[in-house]
Structure 1
Amino acid sequence: MHWHVWLEFAVVSAMIGLVPGPSVTSIVGYALGSGRRTALSSVGGMAVGNVIAISLSLGGVGAILAASALAFSILKWAGALYLIVLGLLTLIRSTRAADLAVTAQPIKPRAAFLNNVALGTFHPKTIVFFVSFVPQFITKDASYAAQAALFGATFCVVVGCTDAAYALAASKAAHLLRRPRTAIWSQRAGGGVLIAAGVATATSR
């Protein structure tokens, strides 16, 4: 494989990572509602989920999802419902906190990590995209397994960097909102973004 093929793949991966989607909106939601540490933990969870999704793609699950509209729809709606419920719970917690005149409790980093592992793993578009995208860069004169592993690792690292950039930017903005009342509205914004991520997942094709 020529180096320019890998570079082209890395550039395309960066472009994909920079386009806001359900993963980015969930990370931004954690940043706004719970701060930088939780947001970065969610980035790590998304990276692990991407690794699992890519492994499933290379194992043939992507071909199954691409061929079965029902399987794709089940995973899509399950992921969408999960994000919407999480966003609603965040809004409920912030509302209760406002009624008690205390700062809303943020989501813990461990919970954000595990939530985004699930989101990254079961987001069907990642699986279908990878199984249809990577073969365009595979060359016949080299090992398929080695090339697939390299492209998978490249995608995860590049998208992890773009996700981290979103997390840091959003958490920096949220960090400026220090007053308890403002923090509650920040968490409400985070819950709204998580719901938006769920809607984006549900309406994806």
Structure 2
Amino acid sequence: MSFEVWLAFVAASAALLAVPGPVVMLLFSTTLGRGRSVSIAAVPGVVLGDFAAMTVSLMGAGAVLSASATLFTILKILGAAYLVWLGIQMWRTDAKPLALKTAARNRSRLTVFRQAFLVTAFNPKDIVFFVAFLPQFINPAEPPLAQIITIEVTFLAMVLISNLLWIFLCGTLRDGLKNPATLRFVNRLGAGCLIGAGAFTALGRNSA
């Protein structure tokens, strides 16, 4: 994996992680209800869940690459089209204030960890997304294992950092997540990222 492709992956991942989703809502609700010390227990659950989902996705992509470079190219093209479609759908969706619910005060750290893992590891939409998103940054002309390890380590490190930031900035960001203008900006940032990732493959910039 070239440094330029890695930077593109980091930029795309950072933009996507900035878009609040179910995991962020879980972190916020737990922080508001039980405090940061309990909410932090969710972070390793999210990281392990993403690791499981990414591994399944990348193993599937790796199997396709081993079977046929042509099939892998087709997978990347289909994935690129899916990302562009997701981006367009996200761009067209009206941003609505997020309903932040306070978590039950008797929720234990183990319960928070388990819930975070289940939310990320067994979400079919996440697996489909990873199948579409991650192969865009894999060069079939290079050894796949090193690229897969680089992608997983980079993304999981970013997930760890972003989740901790969400937790520690919960109080500051809570009002912003209720502001339609702020949500619209963040939503369209993520949408542009998805469209850009799809175009990245369509233009053939990462196939050299």
- Tell me the TM-score normalised to structure 1 length: 0.60
- Matched residue, 1:101: none
**1:179-194 to 2 correspondences below 5 Å:** none
After superposing on structure 2, the runs of 4+ consecutive aligned residues of structure 1 that deviate more than 4 Å are 171-174
User: Which structure 2 segments of 5+ residues have no match?
Assistant: 65-77, 79-100, 175-208
The residue identity in structure 2 corresponding to 1:11 is A
The residue identity in structure 2 corresponding to 1:145 is L
Look up the SS of the partner of 1:141 in the other structure: coil
Shift of 1:173: 8.6
- Matched residue, 1:24: 24
Separation of aligned partners in 2, 1:3 and 1:129? 23
Which one is further off, 165-174 or 118-127?
A: 165-174
Post-superposition CA distance 1:79-100 (Å, at most 9, x none): xxxxxxxx79x5xx5xxxxxxx
Separation of aligned partners in 1, 2:128 and 2:3? 25
Post-superposition CA distance 1:40-65 (Å, at most 9, x none): 1112211110001111112339x9xx
- Matched residue, 2:115: 115
Query: Are the aligned partners of 1:39 and 1:112 in contact in 2 as well (CA < 8 Å)?
Result: yes
- Matched residue, 1:45: 45
Shift of 1:171: 6.2
**1:73-84 to 2 correspondences below 5 Å:** none
- Matched residue, 1:128: 128
Look up the SS of the partner of 1:107 in the other structure: coil
Separation of aligned partners in 1, 2:171 and 2:148? 34
Look up the SS of the partner of 2:55 in the other structure: helix
- Given the superposition, is the C-alpha separation of residues 173 and 137 from structure 1 closer, same or farther in structure 2, using an over 3 Å criterion? closer
The residue identity in structure 2 corresponding to 1:119 is V
**1:117-196 to 2 correspondences below 5 Å:** 117-170=117-170
- Given the superposition, is the C-alpha separation of residues 21 and 168 from structure 1 closer, same or farther in structure 2, using an over 3 Å criterion? same
User: RMSD of the TM alignment (CA)?
Assistant: 2.6
Look up the SS of the partner of 1:59 in the other structure: helix
Separation of aligned partners in 2, 1:40 and 1:14? 20
Q: Which has the higher helix share?
A: 1
**1:194-205 to 2 correspondences below 5 Å:** none
Query: Are the aligned partners of 1:13 and 1:159 in contact in 2 as well (CA < 8 Å)?
Result: no
- Given the superposition, is the C-alpha separation of residues 60 and 34 from structure 1 closer, same or farther in structure 2, using an over 3 Å criterion? same
Post-superposition CA distance 1:162-186 (Å, at most 9, x none): 1110111126899xxxxxxxxxxxx
Number of residue pairs matched?
137
- Matched residue, 1:55: 55
Shift of 1:132: 0.9
Separation of aligned partners in 2, 1:165 and 1:14? 12
Shift of 1:149: 1.9
Separation of aligned partners in 2, 1:29 and 1:20? 13
Separation of aligned partners in 2, 1:117 and 1:155? 16
Query: Are the aligned partners of 2:58 and 2:134 in contact in 1 as well (CA < 8 Å)?
Result: no
Identity rate, percent = 31
Post-superposition CA distance 1:131-159 (Å, at most 9, x none): 11111111133211221121122111112
